Chains A and B, each alone.
Chain A
Amino acid sequence: MSDMKAGSNLEKVLKAGHFAFTGECGPPKGANVEHLKEKVAHLKGMVDSVNVTDNQTAVVRMSSWAASAIMVQEGVEPNFQMVCRDRNRLAMMSDILGVYAMGIRNMLCLSGDHQRFGNHPQAKNVYDIDSIQLIAMVKMMRDEGQFMNGEEIDESPRLFIGAASNPFADPFEYRVHRLAKKIAAGADFIQTQCIYNMDKFRDFMKMAVDMGLHEKCYILAGVTPMKSVGMARYMAKSVPGMDVPESLIKRLKDAGKGKVAEEGIKFALEQIEEFKEMEGVAGVHLMAIEWEHRVPEIAERAGVLPRPEV
């Protein structure tokens, strides 16, 4: 419990050896604070911290730092997300200082979806630094008390540093090395891409454990319950780096009309049960996209309530 890096709730939960349970919330497509507060309210007490997405899928939304700050006010701990697509290193470092000043204690570093997918494909893409360099930069700011150029920071931002890992992107053999690289750069915790192909994930975790990565970093398994057969098909076909086995699509289809969402939740619950036992998995990251109101029920049925008070 000693030598906390940031002292966030998530860090404390993980350091105490609890099975972590994190959620996700997309900021509104506008300045609708009430709507955001309503979504956040569903998650309160149900998860250890909540990821706040940063213009996810390159669609403009309320800034992730502002939504994170609102979340802090609401008494829910955010995992502030930052992508490399929209900011150069100057903007990144100033936002990192800013979020810390606003009471934010976790940060997730991502490459970000290319703007070609989003609602402003005309935009210039930045990518001054990449996600691994971003991790290293946040760590340097926190642990060395220095900006990227080596200049001293007057009061450094103490953030618990997160990163993403997609075991299902290609080349598969390299994915665990990329994870290792993120950990070496300074990631304290990892959240994986939504997992549907359990066989492949087991293989991936075995490699990670063999390399001892789970001892250097907390790995949270990504879970997104399928709401419909259409969603499963869409993810299988149109989301690059997403692996949805045909058997799962069939299982959802076979559930029959009106029962697909329940089947999706059942599958997610089975996954969570397995992750609780899986070597190297320190928790689950539940991305219930636009389904925040179902999180309490899922958390309850997954047996992860009440969340530990640390």
Chain B
Amino acid sequence: MIVADRKPIQEILEMVKDCKKVLIVGCKGCVTVCNVGGSKEVGVLAATLKIAFKKEEISIEMDEKTLERQCDPEYVDQLKDMVDDYDGIISMACGVGPQFLSAAYPEQRFFPAVNTTFFGGAVGHGIWEERCAGCGTCVIHYFDGMCPIARCSKSLLNGPCGGSADGKCEISKDLECIWDMIVRKKMEHGRIDDLLEMKPAKDWQTARDGGPRKSVREELANE
């Protein structure tokens, strides 16, 4: 899923400080799963903002709404009867949400309440880690199901750099060296030969380097 972190309250406060009436819109997709932008977090943000504004003696009205998804025109449409009632709308979806909302309602202003960080998953309660960088050409089968593009700090394709020590990446003792894990798994399973041939340079055209991407599925697009 897409993982995000809530922006600091002060930053959100700054964004909407000139509004009299604000709508906070959550999303039931990824941000609900990673506990950052679902209906529960919408409630928490509304309460927190109210307290903060009260402290500064600013009166502001706040409503809450959570959509099935914000990355789908069908659900975005559900805001149409209420969107004009507000001076500004805070989206708690990933970066995609406020963009879909802005496109659908060009007269309204939308503010992102979260920082979208990565594609990943939960590895423990309250801990998420990056797994994929969306490079557009998946190669993890060469690396026993581990992605060096997203998980090696240097996206190396030919083994661990000289900074790999004690299973940790050279950039932080809190970060696993994914190459250490790949090599050890290959050795354990007797497949170290897989790593002896040079992997050629990656073609980054399918990644963001090739420009913003678009996916067209003819059979659906032509329906």
Interface residues of A (CB under 8 A from B): 84-85, 89, 111-114, 116-117, 125, 127-133, 136-137, 148, 164-166, 169-171, 173-174, 177-178, 180-181, 184-185, 193, 240-241
B161 at the interface (CB under 8 A from A): yes
User: 19 pairs across A/B with beta carbons < 8 Å?
Assistant: A111-B156, A114-B153, A116-B172, A127-B156, A130-B155, A136-B200, A137-B201, A148-B201, A169-B164, A170-B160, A170-B164, A170-B165, A170-B167, A170-B177, A171-B164, A171-B180, A174-B159, A178-B158, A185-B198
B192 at the interface (CB under 8 A from A): yes
Interface residues of B (CB under 8 A from A): 153-168, 170-172, 177, 180, 183-184, 187, 192, 195-202, 204
| In the complex, residue of chain B having the shortest beta-carbon distance to the beta carbon of A111 | B161
Given A132-B158, A174-B159, A181-B197, 9 other A-B residues pairs in contact with their CB atoms under 8 A: A89-B201, A114-B170, A116-B153, A116-B172, A129-B201, A129-B202, A133-B158, A171-B183, A178-B160
Q: Given A128-B204, A171-B187, A174-B187, do A184 and B180 touch, yes or no (CB 8 Å)?
A: no
Please indicate the chain A residues that have their CB under 8 angstroms from the CB of B171 in the complex: 114, 116-117
Given the complex of chains A and B, what is the CA–CA distance between A171 and B170 in angstroms? 13
Cross-chain contact A169 with B196 (CB below 8 angstroms): no
Please indicate the chain B residues that have their CB under 8 angstroms from the CB of A241 in the complex: 162-165, 170
| In the complex, residue of chain A having the shortest beta-carbon distance to the beta carbon of B204 | A128
Cross-chain contact B196 with A240 (CB below 8 angstroms): no
Given the complex of chains A and B, what is the CA–CA distance between A127 and B148 in angstroms? 12
Please indicate the chain A residues that have their CB under 8 angstroms from the CB of B167 in the complex: 170
Interface centre among B155, B159, B184, B199 (most CB of A within 10 A): B159
Given the complex of chains A and B, what is the CA–CA distance between A241 and B163 in angstroms? 5
**CB < 8 Å neighbour of B154 from A127, A164, A173, A177:** A127
Please indicate the chain A residues that have their CB under 8 angstroms from the CB of B183 in the complex: 171, 174
Please indicate the chain A residues that have their CB under 8 angstroms from the CB of B184 in the complex: 171
Cross-chain contact B162 with A164 (CB below 8 angstroms): yes
Q: Given A113-B170, A169-B165, A181-B196, do A174 and B160 touch, yes or no (CB 8 Å)?
A: yes
Given the complex of chains A and B, what is the CA–CA distance between A131 and B199 in angstroms? 11
Please indicate the chain A residues that have their CB under 8 angstroms from the CB of B187 in the complex: 171, 173-174
Q: How far is the CB of B36 from chain A (nearest CB, A)?
A: 25
Given the complex of chains A and B, what is the CA–CA distance between A85 and B154 in angstroms? 8
Q: Given A133-B157, A170-B164, A241-B164, do A181 and B198 touch, yes or no (CB 8 Å)?
A: yes
Given the complex of chains A and B, what is the CA–CA distance between A170 and B167 in angstroms? 7
| In the complex, residue of chain A having the shortest beta-carbon distance to the beta carbon of B187 | A173
Cross-chain contact A184 with B170 (CB below 8 angstroms): no
Please indicate the chain A residues that have their CB under 8 angstroms from the CB of B162 in the complex: 111, 164-166, 169, 193, 241
Please indicate the chain B residues that have their CB under 8 angstroms from the CB of A169 in the complex: 160-165
